[in-house]
Amino acid sequence: MRIRRNMIRKYKIGNPIETDSVIEAIPEILIDQEKAVIPASGEGGTETIIPASGDSNSKAVIPALGDENSGWIVDKHGKKLTFSMSSHACIYGLGEQVRGINKRGWHYVSFCSDDPHHEEGKTSLYGAHNFFVYDSRDCNDNICFGMYVDTPGRVEFDMGYSDPDEISIIFEDFDAYIYLLKSGHPSGTIMDIVRQFRRIIGRSYIAPMWAFGLGQSRWSYMNADEVRGVADSYDKAGIPLDSIYLDIDYMERYKDFTVNDDAFPDFKEFVAEMSGRGIHLVPIIDAGVKIEEGYDVYEEGVKGNHFVKKENGDLFTAAVWPGRVHFPDFLKEDTRRWFGDKYKVLTEAGIDGFWNDMNEPAIFYSEDGLKKVFEKIDGYKGKNLDIDSFFGFQGSVSGLCNSEEDYGSFYHEYKGQRIRHDKVHNLYGYNMTRAAAEAFDKIAPDKQILMFSRASYIGMHRYAGIWTGDNMSWWSHLLLSIQQLPGLNMCGFLYSGSDMGGFGGDVTEDLLIRWLSFAIFTPLLRDHSAMGTRRQELYRFKDTDMFRNLVELRYALIPYLYAEYLWAADNNEMLFKSLAFEHEEDARAMEVEDELLVGRSIMIAPVYTQNASGRYVYLPEDMKMIRFRGYDDYDEEQMKAGDHYVRAQLGEVLVFIRKGHELPLAMPDMRVRDIDTENIHYIRN
Ligand code: MIG
């Protein structure tokens, strides 16, 4: 592959905090805001034109794309960068976020957030992924560039929300590295930009093949017998399964790296028993460490100076599951080494998969915050609570969770400096996960380990995958889970997926079938649901045959999916693309928000509305449609490019094979390791 280093420009604004997200050394261009002044459109402030990307330009501090009219305006005093959009431009990227594939028309805040309400009015989810591609080649100005805003604190991407024709990137602290990327290709431009970006951030994490099998999860399976029961029921129903997840209740009172002996007597033996049946157990690890005398992780953490502290040097105390906890300072190398080694307790018991949770970090309340609220509430006692005081009273309690004040009240030791948490907030979950991954190389060198995290930042993609957190059993969240994938892939997160069927709320059988019909294409295929909701294991529903057929189809697809996944990782490619990434000249393709190209050979068009027996599908090119009812039960139809209404009853999966391509299907089995990959059946177009 030809390296075109000159297509990437790195600009430095202020004094950025390093994030270790970019691994390639690129010379910096300092933005000297006082020197290159273009008069501001009013009083105060200095403005500098930063052309979009590309070659030098006399007017500019940042070399231009060749079009000097389009540049980034630096507003030092407003701490923002602005860019004028052309009317039809699309914006792709930003990873794990709300809303559609084209990010234009809303604003997004990068600040890893524990917020289970993924509604379209929100601006942040659990990840902070500050890379996007702007594409207006359809328009007169003919511009396409990528931009990565590397800063670990809060940053807002106003993508035509305040002003429909303007992007503003608004910083809390005007310190960042800005990478602008342009393509040297006249065609394949978007992917060329994505590939360059992915090259500089390093190769994506590779999950083991078994991690493409079905995973069954629940908050929580309470004991070994319940877990056995799940495996038995899947086997009895003849539905393939490869993993069962252990949520927080496997631990002894939510203490990391402990196992509740009453619920899981002889854990090691149990892990061996399950692995003998081909089932991997995947325990959860939370970020907070319970404060408890005699608990080794707590005591070592205090002794080893591993927990984050307040300004006065006292340990910061917050509460999560176990009640009062301290947070390890994952930003400190020494602490990463210590915490990472703790995973050994579980790897030595035979565990080879983990999910890291609550690592934004989620905070129920801090000790200091709680004290203040109690004092405030005391003041309300016996009073007549009118509209203001009542809402004040209510707000002071609900405001305890994940409060800005708390995030601004503890400190990290990061690269030899003391830094307040909110300035590096988006690095926390990333470094927890990195701690584990770096340890695995030492403590389990022969094992390929599955790991994914809830909070993340670009850079973490080298260590693990992510799941998209606490969604709901809603049709709109099925659509959201489809739309999130291209953005995640652009940012390096290839191993990902959503809680299939929805985490919160009660699923219905038809939603679960439709969701599964889509999720059989995502690397992480995990049925997970919250405490208190309707049980969601596939064998509990009426049409067992339909569920079996769908999961078998998934297992038949694994050789294709895994090969395309490896190809994407090795070539800085995407497993999931929206149509516009391959059909750049096609204005209609740019608007398709509910179809995805999966790997190099196929396109999918999931049904995501209730009571539908089909959907409209746009084909950007002639394709062969396969309507699957099972891996060995399908019909084929040649279809012309254009719009079609296609029938897809419940349990039917639509796959479109591109011209000159073939879809390999293996003989499925009850476990990934038993799939017969010798006898591949090909459907060709
Ligand atoms: O506040 O461990 O996203 O998957 O089941 C809830 C319990 C804490 C949040 C995770 C979810 C998990 C749950 N956790």
Say yes or no: CB of residue 357 within 6 Å of ligand 1: yes
From the alpha carbon of 470, which atom of ligand 1 is closest?
3
Average pLDDT on 375-384 reads 87
Average pLDDT on 457-471 reads 98
Q: Any idea of the CA torsion for 360, 339, 246, 430, to the nearest 10 degrees?
A: 30
Structure tokens at 55: 């070659």
For the cut 80, the answer to whether the pLDDT of residue 98 exceeds it is yes
Q: Among 111, 194, 115, 126, which residue's Cα sits nearest to residue 157?
A: 111
Say yes or no: CB of residue 470 within 6 Å of ligand 1: yes
**Sheet hosting strand 465-467, strand order edge to edge:** 496-497, 465-467, 450-453, 353-357, 280-286, 243-246, 214-216, 525-527, 499-500
pLDDT of residue 183: 84
pLDDT tens digits for range 298-321: 999 999 999 999 999 999 999 998
Q: Is the dihedral of CA 331, 337, 343, 347 positive or negative?
A: positive
Say yes or no: CB of residue 248 within 6 Å of ligand 1: yes
Pocket test for ligand 1, best of 357, 456, 528, 531 (most atoms within 8 A of CB): 357
- Residue 114 Cα to ligand 1 middle (Å): 10
Q: How many residues does the chain have?
A: 685
Q: Among 580, 586, 621, 628, which residue's Cα sits nearest to residue 601?
A: 621
For the cut 70, the answer to whether the pLDDT of residue 653 exceeds it is yes
617 phi and psi, to 5 degrees? -130, 135
- Residue 229 Cα to ligand 1 middle (Å): 22
Cα of first residue to Cα of last residue in the chain, in angstroms, is 29
From the alpha carbon of 286, which atom of ligand 1 is closest?
2
Identify the bridge partners of residue 60 per DSSP, sorted by sequence position. none
Average pLDDT on 556-561 reads 98
From the alpha carbon of 355, which atom of ligand 1 is closest?
4
- Residue 528 Cα to ligand 1 middle (Å): 10
Say yes or no: CB of residue 47 within 6 Å of ligand 1: no
From the alpha carbon of 217, which atom of ligand 1 is closest?
5
How far is C-alpha 446 from the geometric centre of its chain's CA atoms? 27
pLDDT of residue 56: 37
Helix (H, G, I), strand (E, B) or coil at 359: coil
Average pLDDT on 358-365 reads 97
Pocket test for ligand 1, best of 219, 249, 325, 355 (most atoms within 8 A of CB): 219
From the alpha carbon of 530, which atom of ligand 1 is closest?
5
pLDDT of residue 27: 84
Q: Among 165, 173, 183, 123, which residue's Cα sits nearest to residue 149?
A: 173
- Residue 206 Cα to ligand 1 middle (Å): 24
Q: Which runs of E-coded beta strand occur in 431-529? A: 450-453, 456-457, 465-467, 496-497, 499-500, 525-527
| Cα–Cα distance measured from residue 131 to residue 111, given in angstroms and rounded to the nearest whole number | 14
Ligand 1, atom 1, residue with closest C-alpha: 358
Q: Is the dihedral of CA 260, 262, 264, 268 positive or negative?
A: positive
Identify the bridge partners of residue 30 per DSSP, sorted by sequence position. 12
Q: Among 467, 482, 488, which residue's Cα sits nearest to residue 514?
A: 482
Q: Which residue type sits at 378?
A: D
Cβ–Cβ < 8 Å for 680, 665: yes
Pocket test for ligand 1, best of 284, 321, 471 (most atoms within 8 A of CB): 284
Say yes or no: CB of residue 454 within 6 Å of ligand 1: yes
pLDDT tens digits for range 215-242: 999 999 999 999 999 999 999 999 999 9
For the cut 70, the answer to whether the pLDDT of residue 148 exceeds it is yes
pLDDT of residue 602: 98
Q: Across the chain, what does the average pLDDT equal?
A: 92
Q: Which one is predicted more confidently, 254 or 35?
A: 254
**88 dihedral zone (left: phi>0; alpha: psi -120 to 50; beta):** alpha
Pocket test for ligand 1, best of 96, 222, 244, 247 (most atoms within 8 A of CB): 247
pLDDT of residue 50: 53
Q: Among 495, 546, 503, which residue's Cα sits nearest to residue 525?
A: 495
| Cα–Cα distance measured from residue 441 to residue 649, given in angstroms and rounded to the nearest whole number | 47
Ligand 1, atom 5, residue with closest C-alpha: 219
| Cα–Cα distance measured from residue 364 to residue 504, given in angstroms and rounded to the nearest whole number | 18
572 phi and psi, to 5 degrees? 55, 40
Identify the bridge partners of residue 107 per DSSP, sorted by sequence position. 158
**Sheet hosting strand 47-51, strand order edge to edge:** 47-51, 71-75, 80-84, 166-171, 155-159, 106-110
Percent of the chain with pLDDT over 90: 82
Sort strands 155-159 and 106-110 into parallel, antiparallel or unpaired.
Answer: antiparallel
| Cα–Cα distance measured from residue 141 to residue 368, given in angstroms and rounded to the nearest whole number | 54
Helix (H, G, I), strand (E, B) or coil at 381: coil
Average pLDDT on 584-604 reads 96
| Cα–Cα distance measured from residue 78 to residue 514, given in angstroms and rounded to the nearest whole number | 46
From the alpha carbon of 499, which atom of ligand 1 is closest?
4
From the alpha carbon of 247, which atom of ligand 1 is closest?
2
**In sequence order, what DSSP letters do the residues of 389-426 get, joined into one string?**
HHHHHHHHHHTTTT-HHHHTS-EEEETTEEEEHHHHGG
- Residue 258 Cα to ligand 1 middle (Å): 18
Say yes or no: CB of residue 604 within 6 Å of ligand 1: no
From the alpha carbon of 469, which atom of ligand 1 is closest?
3
**247 dihedral zone (left: phi>0; alpha: psi -120 to 50; beta):** beta
Structure tokens at 583: 């059909």
47 phi and psi, to 5 degrees? -125, 145
How many beta carbons lie within 10 A of that of residue 34, not counting itself? 8
- Residue 305 Cα to ligand 1 middle (Å): 28
pLDDT of residue 104: 98
Sort strands 80-84 and 662-667 into parallel, antiparallel or unpaired.
Answer: unpaired
Average pLDDT on 398-425 reads 96
Ligand 1, atom 8, residue with closest C-alpha: 358
pLDDT tens digits for range 438-456: 999 999 999 999 999 999 9
pLDDT of residue 43: 32
Per-residue confidence band for 1, with pLDDT thresholds at 50, 70 and 90: very low
From the alpha carbon of 362, which atom of ligand 1 is closest?
1
| Cα–Cα distance measured from residue 303 to residue 69, given in angstroms and rounded to the nearest whole number | 59
CB burial string 361-372: b at 16+ within 10 A, e below: bbbbbbbbbbee
From the alpha carbon of 116, which atom of ligand 1 is closest?
3
- Residue 357 Cα to ligand 1 middle (Å): 7
pLDDT of residue 74: 85
Ligand 1, atom 12, residue with closest C-alpha: 219
pLDDT tens digits for range 6-64: 588 888 899 999 999 999 998 887 775 543 332 222 333 334 445 544 443 333 344 33
Structure tokens at 248: 């927080």
- Residue 486 Cα to ligand 1 middle (Å): 25
- Residue 545 Cα to ligand 1 middle (Å): 30
State the Rg of the chain over Cα: 25
Average pLDDT on 149-157 reads 98
